[in-house]
């Protein structure tokens, strides 16, 4: 398998709920809408979704509750059987795997974190974290060592012998995260991992999560209904509505160029300046003469606010990581992002 193959690839995935979904899908017109399907007694949990997740990429799936985020991610791990289409994991259709192969795949490659933690109440922290290792038959000492390692990683050292009920929500979710990391999965599913936590802890856990992600560089599918969270974490964001993906793109693009009115409404309240980076606004130089200090392509417009207001240049040069010139940014355009276009 070459490096270009996406780690997760959904192709025209459908998940319908109802009396006889397979039969119904076979007779369904391809352009049937959500309402259309519902009128016929079915619910489209996932509505013809095609999306790829590359190696090391973090895809954040966003949407209101009931929009099909959780259903989609459960199709990726085959917790749900898809009704139509296919889900490829590293090029292999997981719908075709038999039970043993599927169990094997999960034991080797996948980890998942759940909104309400899904901890086993009768097991200690250590036993919970070691659970996936135990399932694949690792011997007691190895799994203990590995479990202690991840427990340390998520900052719960010293709590190994506690039971879940003895921990706070944030700590319980750390256990959930540790458990999902115990087998060193390549693919990491996180289903609204922080939404059951209160805001302060949530922030702390997000930082923790980013720290882990920088260390581990996994392929991640992350579900949230919190836009700020999505913007903090995502490489790409997929916005879902009624089971379908409305738009899947980089955060800047979603904010700057919403594909549908729904996405536009969704992003309306967002402070664009915090999301959009100078690099996105940069246009090719094309021989224009540039003057003065360049700004970094990775800085957000918000962080450039002072400069944008005080600077007199019409065009501001934008520099890449190593200081090379990548383009120029129209100051007016940047100001529009910062202050709103005034229309």
- Contact residues for other proteins, defined by CB under 8 A: 74, 77, 79, 99, 103-104, 106-107, 110-112, 114-124, 131-132, 134-136, 161-163, 165-166, 176, 179-180, 189
Residues 111, 136: Cα–Cα separation, whole Å: 14
**Of residues 120 and 210, the one with the C-beta less far from other proteins:** 120
Answer positive or negative: Cα dihedral of 334, 337, 340, 342. positive
**Of residues 79 and 307, the one with the C-beta less far from other proteins:** 79
Residues 94, 89: Cα–Cα separation, whole Å: 7
Smallest separation (angstroms) from other proteins to the CB of 98:
12
Q: Smallest Cα–Cα separation from 328: which of 340, 341, 337, 319?
A: 319
325-330: strand order across its sheet: 295-296, 315-319, 325-330
**Of residues 20 and 161, the one with the C-beta less far from other proteins:** 161
Smallest separation (angstroms) from other proteins to the CB of 115:
7
Please, what is the Cα angle at 277 between 275 and 279, to 5 degrees?
Answer: 155
Residues 132, 170: Cα–Cα separation, whole Å: 21
Smallest separation (angstroms) from other proteins to the CB of 65:
15
Residue 341 in 3-state DSSP? coil
Smallest separation (angstroms) from other proteins to the CB of 103:
5
**Of residues 28 and 53, the one with the C-beta less far from other proteins:** 53
**Of residues 114 and 194, the one with the C-beta less far from other proteins:** 114
Say how many C-beta atoms besides its own lie within 10 A of residue 75's C-beta.
26
Smallest separation (angstroms) from other proteins to the CB of 172:
11
**Of residues 26 and 103, the one with the C-beta less far from other proteins:** 103
Residues 105, 82: Cα–Cα separation, whole Å: 17
**Of residues 5 and 104, the one with the C-beta less far from other proteins:** 104
Torsions phi, psi of 167, nearest 5? -110, 155
Smallest separation (angstroms) from other proteins to the CB of 97:
12
Smallest separation (angstroms) from other proteins to the CB of 221:
13
Query: Residue 138 has which token pair?
Result: 């690792």
Query: Residue 144 has which token pair?
Result: 């203990």
**Of residues 153 and 276, the one with the C-beta less far from other proteins:** 153
Q: Smallest Cα–Cα separation from 86: which of 61, 58, 51?
A: 51
Taking each helix axis from N to C terminus, what angle separates 169-181 and 140-153, rounded to the nearest 10 degrees? 130
Q: How far is CA 178 from CA 68, 105, 140, 260, 282, in A?
A: 26, 19, 17, 38, 41
**Of residues 216 and 307, the one with the C-beta less far from other proteins:** 216
Residues 72, 28: Cα–Cα separation, whole Å: 20
């Amino acid at each position: 398998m070459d490096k270009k193959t996406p780690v997760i690839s959904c192709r025209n995935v459908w998940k319908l709920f109802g009396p006889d979904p397979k039969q119904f899908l076979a007779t369904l017109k391809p352009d049937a809408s959500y309402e259309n399907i519902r009128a016929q007694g079915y619910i489209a949990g996932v509505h013809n979704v095609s999306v790829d997740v590359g190696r090391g990429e973090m895809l954040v799936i966003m949407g209101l509750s009931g929009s099909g985020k959780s259903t989609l991610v459960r199709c990726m791990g085959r917790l749900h059987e898809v009704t139509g289409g296919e889900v490829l994991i590293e090029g292999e259709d997981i719908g075709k795997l038999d039970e043993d192969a599927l169990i094997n795949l999960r034991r080797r490659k996948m980890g998942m974190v759940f909104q309400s933690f899904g901890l086993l109440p009768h097991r200690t922290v250590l036993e919970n974290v070691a659970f996936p290792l135990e399932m694949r038959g690792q011997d007691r000492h190895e799994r203990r060592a590995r479990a202690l390692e991840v427990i340390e990683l998520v900052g719960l050292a010293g709590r190994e012998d506690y039971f879940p009920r003895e921990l706070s929500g944030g700590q319980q979710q750390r256990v959930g995260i540790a458990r999902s990391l115990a087998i060193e999965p390549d693919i990491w599913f996180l289903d609204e991992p922080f939404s059951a936590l209160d805001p302060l802890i949530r922030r702390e856990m997000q930082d923790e999560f980013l720290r882990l992600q920088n260390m581990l560089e996994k392929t991640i599918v992350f579900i949230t209904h919190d836009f700020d969270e999505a913007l903090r974490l995502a490489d790409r964001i997929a916005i879902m509505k009624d089971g379908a993906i409305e738009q899947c793109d980089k955060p800047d693009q979603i904010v700057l160029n919403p594909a549908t009115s729904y996405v536009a409404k969704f992003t309306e309240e967002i402070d664009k300046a915090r999301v959009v980076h100078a690099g996105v606004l940069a246009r090719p130089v094309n021989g224009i003469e540039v003057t003065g200090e360049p700004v970094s392509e990775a800085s957000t417009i918000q962080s450039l606010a002072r400069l944008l207001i005080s600077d007199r240049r019409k065009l501001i040069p934008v520099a890449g990581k190593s200081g090379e010139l990548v383009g120029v940014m129209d100051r007016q355009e940047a100001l529009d992002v910062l202050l709103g276009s005034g229309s």
